[in-house]
Chains A and B, each alone.
Chain A
Amino acid sequence: MSENKVPVMADLAAEGREPEILFWVGCAGSFDQRAQRVTIAFAKILNALGTDYAVLGKEECCTGDPARRAGNEFVFQMLAQQNVATLNAYNVKKIVTTCPHCFNTLKNEYPSLGGDYQVIHHSQFMQQLIDEGKLVVEGGAFKGKRITYHDPCYLGRANDVYEAPRAVIESLDSDFVEMRNCKSKALCCGAGGAQMWKEDEPGNSRINTKRAQQALDVNPDYIAVACPYCNTMLTDGVKEAGKQDGVKVIDIAELIAMANGL
């Protein structure tokens, strides 16, 4: 199907075209098998909406978030400056991303390196289009399903985006339920600050085990997430609790894509 092709920035540039918005896929979205399915779901939404967008593809580098937070500023600067050069070369103005870590770094940390863009998270992108009536969500598939939502630290506390992902979920006509610790008091999934790439330090449990349990405590059918790392961590936590058959961890882009049969 030709409409499900993904436009690449370099190809458009060769034709002298500048798309309105860049979809920043992120490393997890590009390489992690689970996160790839979220990338596909969101790209299908973009295609279905007829969005004028492109991805960087092979030219995209890690934003440097894990390096900077692990304390390796040299590696961060090398990656970030390379990205800023690429983005500026393509005259990028607006970026949407499915990863709150990429979102935060692009939005808050690139300006001091000479990279000024309007950056939005895919939850905000979808909320805006739902509000404008451009994205019509068919609620059928999730009608009456119990859905809870886990706030990613880098979307919530770090950038105060709490309502957009909830608005997206509420468009589904489902039974939305909050965890006891939500919004600014949400517990981290355990992956941030480069923890994704190492084992937890010694303690009495893993952080993702604890957070998954808090989610399972509200008996959801779905645990909605808005971050590829939260997705991995909570999927593992749900598995550890032996609940993977009844409870699905799912990104908000997948919810919308599934609801609309994309």
Chain B
Amino acid sequence: MQFVQIALFILLSGASFFLFFKQAKVIYDNIMLGRKEKIHDDPAWGLQQMLIIAFGQKKMFKITSAALLHLVIYVSFVITQIELLEVFIDGVFGQHRAVYHFFESHRLLFFQQLYYLSINMIEILSLLTFAVTIAFLWRRNIIRLPRLNKPEMDGWPRKDANLILLFELTLIFCIFSMNIGDRALQLKGGNPHYPALNGGGFLLSGSIAPLLTSLPEGLLIAFERFGWWGHIIMVFVFLNYLPKSKHLHIMLAFPNTYFSRKQPKGEIINMPQIMNEVKSMFDDSFVAPEVEGEMKFGAKDANDLSWKNLLDAYSCTECGRCTEQCPANQTGKLLSPRKIMMATRDRIEELGKGIREHGPDFSDNKSLLGDYISKEELLACTTCNACVEACPVTISPLEIIVELRRNLIMEAADSPAEWNNMFTNLENNQAPWQFSREDGMNWADDMN
């Protein structure tokens, strides 16, 4: 029986890590379909951003209530990884609480206390997380918080969000079922696989376990094993679900904040090729330096975007803070910055799949601009940076919007008539209105 469990455990963990890395590789390849670009060459600064924004959750605190709720789950998740280590050791060696018994048999008192502290913290945080998860489900489905219920959340995105929360509830239930069953068996005595720990029960499971000691040993073992296996199976399911889910932010928030842009938010990224072309128009003697890659007028499809825009898309957890702050969205326009990120991820997934199956020249006659993001959405943006400011993990929907606009205006020449007038005025009068530059000082006549 023990052997079967060990074999099953090794098989399951091997398969789940293999499948996870396979999926992670696909995502990496998809991101690398984007345009190559150096984001910054300042590792110290990047690490600082990562520590403050991702690890330290700084930008989450723009909404205090959501930040506190999220913090409970986040801290709980991080600390629960300690217990996961022991679960792995136990699984591989067919032991039970191997780490604690190691400390006990070597009389490492400090570590024994540290162990109790960790598990007690995990239990308390798990209980809190259980409550927070219910609150999150409540907010999303009963109160129906507006930012979590915009049209782009219909269908799979809403199911995805709820599924994650249900996974969490199951996981926590399993943790308690494991610890309570274990303690009840210890109290009941007689089973060599569940020897009593010399520190007694843990804070929460230890106070419930005494109520269950009258149950038959077989049932308690089933209860404990259900918890143990359920817990680890949920971990494997979660790991392999992540790459398909908005929940991938728990991993990608870290690299994404590391690769934050150093430039001020107001700066729109330069286009060196066009700069050089215009330079050579003004100056015959100017010889344009070689710029890597072919001349492109902004982005038509997801792989014309920078790899950073694609990493942004995979890092988005669809919280909708960007959309909530967007002036266009607030006044009922079609634009939703969150939807820009979701569409970009959907499209690069589709494009990546096509390219893997049919080679680099794959085309399905579709593109990000037009089929996924419409002209009307793009034209609604005021470039006000509210979405960029709001994002807790430094995603920029604005960069994608500007890249697509560049294609719309310069490549597709599909500009609104009013903008065409403005462009003409800028070319003829160097001002966006039909005034002559000669009259540019007329205001000074009214100085006195």
Contact = CB atoms under 8 A, between A and B. Distances in A.
Q: Tell me, yes or no, whether A binds B.
A: yes
Interface of A: 1, 4-6, 8, 25, 27, 29-32, 36, 39-40, 43-44, 55, 57-58, 60-62, 64, 66-75, 77-79, 81-82, 85, 104, 107-109, 112-113, 153-154, 157-160, 184-185, 187-188, 190-207, 209-211
Contact of A210 (B327, B388, B427): B327
B327 A67 contact: no
Contacts of A197: 418-419, 421-422, 432
Nearest to A160: B264
Interface in B426-448: 426-427, 430-433, 435, 437-441, 443-444, 446-448
Nearest to B326: A188
A27 B434 CA distance: 11
Given A71-B298, A187-B330, A198 B431 contact: no
A158 B265 contact: yes
A27 B264 contact: no
B32 interface: no
A190 B327 contact: yes
Contacts of B437: 58, 61
B209 interface: no
Contacts, number: 220
Contacts of B282: 81-82, 85
Interface string B274-300: 110111011000000000000001100
B332 A205 contact: yes
Ranked nearest first, the 8 interchain pairs of A and B with the lowest CB-CB distance are A158-B266, A204-B332, A193-B383, A71-B405, A188-B384, A71-B409, A203-B332, A61-B430
Nearest to A6: B444
A84 B155 CA distance: 51
Nearest to B264: A108
Given A192-B384, A197-B432, A204-B332, A6 B268 contact: no
B287 to A, nearest CB: 15
B332 A193 contact: no
Contacts of A29: 443
A236 to B, nearest CB: 14
A60 B440 contact: yes
B379 A198 contact: yes
Given A6-B444, A188-B382, 8 more contacts: A1-B448, A71-B408, A75-B423, A78-B281, A108-B266, A153-B386, A198-B418, A205-B331
B251 interface: no
Given A6-B444, A27-B433, A206-B331, A192 B383 contact: yes
Contacts of B64: none
Given A192-B384, A193-B382, A210-B330, A8 B266 contact: no
Given A66-B432, A75-B426, A203-B331, A192 B443 contact: no
A43 B444 contact: yes
Nearest to B279: A81
A73 to B, nearest CB: 5
B99 interface: no
Contacts of B406: 71-73
Contacts of B409: 70-72
Contacts of A82: 282, 430
A75 B420 CA distance: 11
B31 to A, nearest CB: 24
B422 A109 contact: no
B426 A62 contact: yes
Given A43-B447, A201-B334, A69 B422 contact: no
26 contacts: A30-B431, A40-B447, A60-B440, A62-B426, A67-B426, A71-B405, A72-B423, A74-B274, A78-B281, A79-B426, A82-B282, A159-B265, A185-B62, A190-B382, A193-B383, A194-B419, A199-B418, A200-B333, A201-B333, A202-B332, A202-B334, A203-B333, A203-B334, A204-B332, A205-B331, A210-B327
A69 B380 CA distance: 12
Contacts of A57: 440-441
A71 B410 contact: yes
Nearest to A74: B274
B117 to A, nearest CB: 39
A190 B416 CA distance: 17
Nearest to B430: A61
Given A4-B448, A6-B447, A193 B327 contact: no
A44 B380 CA distance: 38
Nearest to A184: B389
Contacts of A199: 418
Given A72-B409, A191-B382, A8 B441 contact: yes
Contacts of A5: 444, 447
